[in-house]
Amino acid sequence: MRVGIGVRGAKTGEQTKHQQRTEATRSALLDAAKRIFARDGFEAARIEDIAGATGHTRGAFYAHFNSKVDLFFALFEQETGERLRGLRSIMEQYPSSDGRLRALRKFYVGRASDRQWAMLALEFKLFAWRHPKLRARLARTHRRIREALKLETISQLIPELMKVGRQSREVRRVALEAVLNGLVLEHAYDPEAISQTQAIAVLGRMFDVLMAAKQHAANGSF
């Protein structure tokens, strides 16, 4: 009887170690993908290179992901989730909505320094644009992941922003994202034309204008 229990315990231990190795491999693939997507571009990046950077083969890649697109969505979910968990932790330190809105503003403006991730997001959108048959499906998946992650944080901590209507929120979100991506790209391309300090200042002003939720709700704009 004791022997049987010992065997089952050993199997459980082996399964746990296997799960840990599996998770470690998946995590390594995501880290390698982030570097290689940024280095080579999303479309030019090769699965062999991503797998090879972790010491694995294509077989290991396909054990975790169906395609580069599947990998990108997993990477997007991981990166966005980590950022929003950090944002939530910061916002929860403030008792008022005004304080939380200021924390959200600082988070948004700070994204200008995260050039690698902004460029990766642009690369993926360019890939979708070049493949019109995939674009609608990719956009739907992208939107679903983004909304699932973001609304949980923002709706609970700044409920005022959620009362102005989903369309208004989405228009502002897209506008802020477009301004951020454009400024990051322009600064990366020609930092003499627009400096990091200037880009941050513009982002702050745009946030203040577009996130004035109460005023927009009152006058029915957007």
86 and 17 in a single domain? The answer is: no
Note whether 45 and 140 are same-domain residues: no
CB 113, CB 119: distance < 8 Å: no
Residues 86 and 125 in one domain: yes
What is the predicted pLDDT for the residue at 150? Answer: 63
**Is 60 in the same domain as 81?**
no
DSSP reduced 3-state for 162: helix
**pLDDT tens digits for 71-85?**
998 998 888 888 888
> What is d(CA 23, CA 132) in angstroms, rounded to the nearest whole number?
34
pLDDT band at 218 (very low <50, low <70, confident <90, very high): very low
My answer on whether 6 and 76 are in the same domain is no
Instruction: Please report, rounded to a whole number, the percentage of residues in the chain having pLDDT higher than 90.
Output: 33
Per-residue pLDDT of 139-189, as tens digits, reads 888 878 777 766 556 767 777 766 666 667 778 888 888 999 899 999 999
Give the CA-trace dihedral at 126, 130, 131, 133, to 10 degrees.
110
Q: How far apart are CA 70 and CA 68, in angstroms?
A: 5
* Pair 61, 109 in one domain: no
The two structure tokens encoding residue 169:
């929120």
Task: Please report, for the domain that includes residue 39, its CATH number.
Answer: 1.10.10
Instruction: Please tell me whether residues 72 and 60 are part of one structural domain.
Output: no
Q: How far apart are CA 124 and CA 44, in angstroms?
A: 11
Q: Specify whether 94 is located in the same domain as 17.
A: no
User: Tens digits of per-residue pLDDT, 71-124?
Assistant: 998 998 888 888 888 888 888 898 888 898 899 899 889 988 888 888 888 888
Residue where a domain terminates, one of 25, 50, 65 = 65
Domain boundary among 14, 35, 65: 65
> CA 28 to CA 60: how far, in whole Å?
11
Judge if 212 and 116 occupy the same domain.
yes
Give the count of domains, the chain.
Answer: 2
Which among 65, 89, 109 is the end of a domain? 65
Under DSSP, the state recorded for 57 is: -
**pTM summary value:** 0.75
By residue range, what is the domain housing residue 17?
1-65
